[in-house]
Amino acid sequence: MISPRYPSTFRPATDFTFRMLKNSFTKNVTGISIPLPSYLRTTEMNTIMTSTAQPTKKTISIVSEPESINIIENLIEELRTEHNIHEDAFGNILVSVTEAVNNAIQHGNEYNPSKKVTVTYEVEGDNLIFTVQDEGPGFDFYNLPDPTAPENLEKPTGRGVFLMKHLSDQVIFSDNGRCVEMYFKTSIH
């Protein structure tokens, strides 16, 4: 008999099988992971695809002011200590997440202190997932200038998404660019 926590259309299988299934919910197109339609990412599916260990998941909201980035930096430092995050992974996480938050404050919410940036993190084993969401109009994440092109090398901005994509294990944009998920391995093997 199927456990009540499983949807009626699925049969229990190994945790590995569910992880494989969960990872197949995105399709990589030219280096950007794109979520498949929401009906393929149901709450029931997300519930059954977690490991048996209880993940840590927390959400905080910050005002859209540059000083708020300090809160996120302190949070990442606390996570480093609490979860013994490897030094190399810590650096990648710190740069990627602070870039995402800075983009949300500056470009998404346009420094409007009445708009919030929501940061959620989830720790599961040696995996860490950060989600950063703003209240702005979004952006076309498919058509960003290449910061490594000669005409862009001298520009003081335009490297945030580039850094996030190169320092994270996976980056997924959704909600018309208002939301970004970044996946990290916290240990180096």
Q: Which domains does the chain have, with CATH numbers?
A: 57-185 (3.30.565.10)
The token pair that represents 146 in the structure block: 């290449």
The token pair that represents 55 in the structure block: 């993940």
pLDDT digits 0-9 by tens, 108-160? 999 999 999 999 999 988 899 999 999 999 999 899 999 999 999 998 888 99
Per the model's pLDDT, the better-predicted residue between 118 and 16 turns out to be 118
The token pair that represents 170 in the structure block: 């996976």
pLDDT digits 0-9 by tens, 85-109? 999 999 999 999 999 999 999 999 9
The span from the CA of 164 to the CA of 103, in Å, is 11
Confidence of residue 186 (pLDDT cuts 50, 70, 90): confident
